């Protein structure tokens, strides 16, 4: 596996944080600190912040994403946002299947698959999240579970479409807990995901595929995690709300 073939991608997931005014302040803080990044930089923000962040990042190296989208293009789905609505604004990325959506909002592997297909049809880049709970890790089923989540999510996704996808391995027990997976644990599961991609799409597709780690990645631990052979980037929650910390992670990925 040749890591040089893959582009490192550092993406912030702002989750349910920041009003539009606060979002403007945050993105203006991030912009100058990441302008020389030698990796892809993305911020995924609440729907109501998209306009202001898109405007503020025009002409910069920062890509903008949403945190979810519905699987239908339009219709009677009160409170939902569709993929074409996002692309019509200039949004380029969307996170699908975050564990917080799976845990609190009834997201299943099947609905994850439907959302991914809709997002790809609309031309969005997808950041798919997979990962196990602490209980599942202790049961020793992490590899099987993550492989299954990945396979179901990718059902019907073509090799060409796969080029617009990233997978983020996010162990649920490491999210927002300050408890990071060890570099070895992160790499092990990212390698499982890469072998699933190789089985489904071939070695060339797997070698070129970007896999992120997410879960309490911060300015201090990023370099070690990102140095792992199968870890190609990070999906960052808490630390993405602090410009200096986020920039430090971007720097670690740019080496």
Beta carbons within 8 Å of 72's beta carbon, 6+ residues apart: 80, 82, 118
Closer CB to ligand 13P, 84 or 234, in the complex: 234
To the nearest 10°, report the CA torsion of 245, 43, 120, 2: -30
Q: How far is the CB of 228 from ligand 13P (least distance, A)?
A: 17
Beta carbons within 8 Å of 246's beta carbon, 6+ residues apart: 10, 12, 30, 33, 34, 236, 239, 240
Closer CB to ligand 13P, 175 or 186, in the complex: 175
Whether residue 72 lies in the annotated active site = no
Closer CB to ligand 13P, 10 or 84, in the complex: 10
Closest by CA to 192, choosing from 221, 159, 160, 169, is: 169
Closer CB to ligand 13P, 197 or 217, in the complex: 217
Residue nearest to ligand 13P (CB): 237
Q: How far is the CB of 176 from ligand 13P (least distance, A)?
A: 4
Where do contacts with ligand 13P occur on this chain (CB under 6 A)? 13, 98, 170, 175-176, 214-217, 235-239
Closest by CA to 232, choosing from 243, 217, 247, 220, is: 217
Whether residue 98 lies in the annotated active site = yes
Q: How far is the CB of 23 from ligand 13P (least distance, A)?
A: 17
Q: Which of 98, 107, 132, 248 is catalytic?
A: 98
Q: What are phi and psi of 51, to 5 degrees?
A: -55, -50
Catalytic residues: 98, 170
């Amino acid at each position: 596996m040749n890591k040089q073939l893959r582009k490192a991608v550092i993406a912030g997931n702002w989750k349910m944080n920041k009003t539009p005014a606060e979002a403007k302040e945050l993105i203006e803080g991030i912009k100058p600190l990441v302008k020389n990044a030698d990796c892809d930089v993305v911020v995924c923000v609440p729907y109501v912040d998209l306009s202001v962040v898109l405007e503020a990042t025009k002409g910069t190296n920062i890509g903008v994403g949403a945190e979810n989208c519905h699987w239908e293009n339009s219709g009677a789905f009160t409170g939902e946002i569709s993929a074409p609505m996002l692309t019509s604004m200039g949004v380029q990325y969307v996170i699908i299947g975050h564990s917080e959506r799976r845990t609190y909002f009834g997201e299943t592997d099947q609905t994850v698959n439907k959302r991914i297909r809709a997002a790809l049809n609309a031309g969005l880049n997808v950041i798919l999240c997979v990962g196990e709970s602490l209980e599942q890790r202790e049961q020793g089923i992490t590899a099987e579970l993550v492989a299954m989540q990945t396979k179901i999510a990718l059902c019907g996704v073509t090799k060409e479409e796969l080029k617009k996808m990233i997978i983020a391995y996010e162990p649920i027990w490491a999210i927002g807990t300050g408890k990071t997976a060890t570099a070895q644990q992160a790499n092990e599961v990212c390698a499982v995901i890469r072998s699933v991609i190789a089985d489904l799409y071939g070695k060339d597709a797997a070698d070129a595929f970007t896999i992120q780690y997410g879960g309490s990645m911060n300015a201090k631990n990023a370099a070690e995690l990102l140095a792992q052979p199968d870890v190609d980037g990070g999906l960052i929650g808490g630390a993405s709300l602090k410009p200096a910390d986020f920039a430090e992670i971007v720097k670690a990925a740019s080496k």
